[in-house]
Amino acid sequence: MSALGNIIKKELKELLTPATFLPIIIVALIFGTMGSSIQGIQEQAKEKPIIGIIDADNGTLSTIAVDVLNSSAKVVFNSSSMLDNQVQVGLETLKQKNGVALIIIPHNFTEKILSKQQGQIEVYWIMKGAGLMDAIPSVVVNQLLTTVNTNISKYLIQGNTSINATVVLSPTKRIETTSFKDREFKGLSPDKIMNMLSSQSMLIPIVMMMIIIMAGGIVITSMALEKENKTLETLLTLPVKRTSIVTGKIVAAAIIGLLLSVIYMIGMSYYFQGFQMSEGVNLADYGLTLTSAQDFLLIGISLFVTLIAGLALCMLLGTFAKNYKSAQTLTFPITMLAIVPMFLVMFADFDTLPFALKALVFAIPFSHPMMAPRALLFQDYLLVIGGIIYVLIFAIITISIVVWVFKTDRLLTGSTKIKKISKISGQIFRMKKLR
């Protein structure tokens, strides 16, 4: 064998370890699941949006609007009456048929525009989730309403009317009401609500992600350094309970992680303030701010149990770390587990996720404090408290496993199976060489 071949063979043997491949395989599986789910959402977006129309005007211009809507949307409710009763019937029908919006054209629509005023179009939005993906159907309907506007403008220009340019260019005005999670938001469109919610609830996912990445890295590295610096054996022969070693490492990492996050968040909070001010909407007017001490307490508990669960998971991974180098590889799956729910919470609403993705998001402990603020805004206590209980059980089980690993030979001797395999493969190699 050439010198080059010899070196390549040695390098491959060193690099082909489960620690190298396992994190990548896990990440590939997570991305695979995410990809197929997002693809499903995109397929959904290509479908015609489901809407309802109440045309109380029945004039020339409302007919133009209805034609546009009929040609590009699936209309499941049609009426020419604007009575309250009809609006309710329309909304119920849409909710049952997974509709997006009920578009109401009032009786004086054509007349108003022709008398040089903007014609009103009332839109009752039915918002299912607050993720970016959930906004796709409403974006499509928004585009249709823009087309309605354009087509009416074309009609007015072609008719060579004497209406002023402002009305010709923008003949319609929207009055929007959004129904979301059994609450009505007057004067707000789904995209505005979504922006407000995401700007408000983005802080916790980022804090959580930062704490987990920072504190998790500390725990894994601490375990690796105990092994690399040969201090672990001494520690394990001292009169200290295994539970105390595990708890001590987790608590110390949590404190450092929190300190680092506070420093990080001071900068980030200024960054987010800029976004919230640009919205120009007072969230409190719509009841979209958390005010009760109980809600903050629940968020705090959720953050705390998740931090403990995450660090216990890091500790478990840390027991696999042989040295500082391998510890760096092992922080990768934890980073991914923190980033994946952060993006999922941003792009989609837990309630509107497909079942498989919903189960995945729920199973990742880091998702829960990220989802908690939004859930509490809409009084979804079941999701928050259920999440806390789940994460608590996850933490207890993980800590128990870590303590068990500390009580076994595994921490010092590593996997005997791997040793056995390498020994057998070594023997086979030597036998081949002898032949």
116 conformational bin, left if phi > 0, alpha if psi -120 to 50, beta if neither:
left
Q: Give the E-state strand segments of 116-250 in sequence order.
A: 119-127, 172-180, 183-186
Nearer to other proteins (CB atom), residue 15 or residue 240: 240
Q: For other proteins, which stretch binds (CB under 8 A), given 22-30, 86-94, 236-244, 349-357?
A: 236-244
Gyration radius from the chain CA atoms: 29
* 252 lies in the site for other proteins, by CB under 8 A: no
Q: For other proteins, which stretch binds (CB under 8 A), given 110-118, 212-220, 355-363, 408-416?
A: 408-416
Nearer to other proteins (CB atom), residue 107 or residue 410: 410
Site string for other proteins, 196-235 (x = CB under 8 A): ---------------------------------xxx-xx-
Q: With contact defined as beta carbons under 8 Å apart, do 87 and 124 qualify?
A: yes
Residue 358 tokens, joined: 């919903």
Residue 264 tokens, joined: 């990080």
- What phi, psi does 414 have (nearest 5°)? 75, -170
* 236 lies in the site for other proteins, by CB under 8 A: yes
Count of residues near other proteins by CB under 8 A? 20
* 325 lies in the site for other proteins, by CB under 8 A: no
* 154 lies in the site for other proteins, by CB under 8 A: no
Nearer to other proteins (CB atom), residue 379 or residue 408: 408
**Residue from the set 21, 397, 419, 429 that interacts with other proteins by CB under 8 A:** 419
**Residue from the set 9, 13, 97, 423 that interacts with other proteins by CB under 8 A:** 423
* 97 lies in the site for other proteins, by CB under 8 A: no
Work out how close the CB of 242 gets to other proteins at its nearest, in angstroms, rounded to a whole number: 10
423 conformational bin, left if phi > 0, alpha if psi -120 to 50, beta if neither:
alpha
Q: For other proteins, which stretch binds (CB under 8 A), given 91-99, 120-128, 155-163, 414-422?
A: 414-422
Q: For other proteins, which stretch binds (CB under 8 A), given 115-123, 212-220, 257-265, 418-426?
A: 418-426
* 13 lies in the site for other proteins, by CB under 8 A: no
In order of 104, 128, 186, 286, 383, the CA distances from 122 in angstroms are 5, 19, 11, 20, 34
* 238 lies in the site for other proteins, by CB under 8 A: yes
In order of 101, 150, 353, the CA distances from 46 in angstroms are 17, 22, 17
Q: How far apart are CA 217 and CA 220, in angstroms?
A: 5
**Residue from the set 240, 255, 259, 363 that interacts with other proteins by CB under 8 A:** 240
Place of tokens 């402990």: 365
Work out how close the CB of 324 gets to other proteins at its nearest, in angstroms, rounded to a whole number: 12
Place of tokens 């934890």: 334
Terminal-residue alpha carbon distance, the chain: 16
Q: For other proteins, which stretch binds (CB under 8 A), given 35-43, 150-158, 272-280, 407-415?
A: 407-415
Q: For other proteins, which stretch binds (CB under 8 A), given 22-30, 170-178, 239-247, 395-403?
A: 239-247
* 430 lies in the site for other proteins, by CB under 8 A: no
Residues 50-69 that bind other proteins (CB under 8 A): none
Q: With contact defined as beta carbons under 8 Å apart, do 286 and 188 qualify?
A: yes
Q: Using DSSP, how many helices (H) and how many strands (E) does the chain show?
A: 18, 6
Work out how close the CB of 234 gets to other proteins at its nearest, in angstroms, rounded to a whole number: 6
Q: With contact defined as beta carbons under 8 Å apart, do 145 and 73 qualify?
A: no
Place of tokens 């009505």: 184
* 427 lies in the site for other proteins, by CB under 8 A: no
**Burial (0-12, 13-18, 19+ Cβ within 10 Å), 160:** exposed
Work out how close the CB of 420 gets to other proteins at its nearest, in angstroms, rounded to a whole number: 5
Positions touching other proteins (CB under 8 A) are 229-231, 233-234, 236-241, 408-409, 412-413, 416-417, 419-420, 423
